[in-house]
Amino acid sequence: MNSRKRTYYFLLICFAGSILLVGALYFMSNDSRKNGFTRVFPTEPDSLVPEEVLDIRHPGYYFSGKTDHHIFLGHLQAPAHILMTNPALTDTSHINLEIDILPEDAYDWKALQVAVDSPQVYLADGSNGLFLKTFLQDSPVERYSPDSTMLFSGYIPLSPSSLVMKSYNPKYAQNILEKRSTTTKAEKKYILKKQVDGIFCTDGMLLYSRKHSYLFYIYYYRNQLLCLDTLLNEVYTKTTIDTVSHANINLSVLEDSTQLTLGKPPLRVNKKSHTDGDFLYVNSALRADNESRRIFGDHSVIDLYTVTKGDYLFSFYVPEYRGKKMRDFLVSDTVLFALYDHHIITYSLSFLQHSAPGKPNIPKDSQVFRAK
């Protein structure tokens, strides 16, 4: 072998070796990265198996409400269309609301967010401060615009005449929670805890436990959950089990503008949440120190908390379906409904059966599983 070939092979081996070394270091650093918390699992990762599967044929649906006998879904591109199914997923109906668009209606039709509190149906465009209220059966639409300067990015109905919204308040220069009625302006308000900018750092999810008459606000970018009564008085504040106590928000100003935007995607802590009965379900975005990267990557993890105190109980996994993670979920009694691309799948949460309030009935002979 001449010297030129030896040099060529030597450089090739050095190049390949450097690539392997960098890859190994990257893998080791990621695999050993710790988030500073652990989870407890009473079941094996794949213990939840699909029971019923419903192909809803089109993507873009989201859960918009439930009763003991029906599940309701709205659609991002067709706000006047509601899909209704029974818990067994054996009977579906399509409801098309009759909503007239008047010349004076200044709202974005496709921006309407739908919430069903049967038999009432609410549609809202937060960018224009407009609420529409109607019923599942043929009924005229009531238009309610309490304040044309009010901007909001989330809402939840408490009763046919009362709702709570997350809105931007210019006085405080941040998001706040407000309770409003359909006949008067703001009745009560709660100032969310500002950490960075007051908008992105306070962003989160509104939930309502009808059984306990508690409101919950769960932040997207920090480990805090807030429990309020229906007058927006604080009942308790707890942290989720992860350690991200401060929102990791990086802001930048748009060119030729004073408008703030995210400089890079923030660290997401909580993805989705739901409350039912005595439990609060939080779909976390963070992997615990005792979780396998592979299992965490192939499943959605849900952490279970008590409604009355916000205490962490344990966690469980919801598997992928056809290579896709769930996009949304809700729970009714001991059944979890997971929404994938265009499928709804039910899973039995049998470990919640016959449990005392806030205490799941985990069999005594079952071993607590810790993901390795």
CATH 2.120.10 fits 14-43+52-275, yes or no: yes
Please report, in angstroms and rounded to a whole number, the separation of the first and last CA atoms in the chain.
50
Q: What is the pLDDT of residue 30?
A: 47
Tens-digit pLDDT profile for residues 310-365: 999 999 999 999 999 999 999 999 999 999 999 999 999 988 864 545 556 554 44
Q: Give percent above pLDDT 70 in the chain.
A: 77
pLDDT band with cut points at 50, 70 and 90 for residue 236: very high
Residue 155 to residues 131, 193, 216, 306: CA-CA distances in angstroms?
A: 10, 18, 12, 23
| pLDDT, mean of residues 285-303 | 95
Which alpha helices (DSSP H) does 121-243 contain, by range? none
pLDDT at site 372: 36
Please state the separation of Cα 214 from the chain's center in Å: 18
Exposure of 322 by Cβ count < 10 A (0-12 exposed, 13-18 middle, 19+ buried)? exposed
Helix, strand or coil for residue 344?
strand
Nearest to 165 by CA among 111, 127, 109: 127
Q: Domain-by-domain residue ranges, the chain?
A: 14-43+52-275
Task: Tell me the residue type at 94.
Answer: H
pLDDT the model gives residue 19: 59
Q: Which pLDDT score, from 0 to 100, does residue 185 have?
A: 64
pLDDT for 116-162, tens place per residue? 998 889 888 888 777 888 888 776 777 766 555 567 888 999 988 88
Q: CB of 336 within 8 A of CB of 329?
A: yes
- In this structure, the number of other CB atoms found within 10 A of the CB of residue 141 comes to 16
51 secondary structure, DSSP code: -
3-29 pLDDT, tens digit per residue, is 655 555 555 565 555 555 545 444 444
Report which listed range, 194-208, 256-270, 297-311, is most confident: 297-311
| Residue 366, pLDDT above cutoff 60 | no
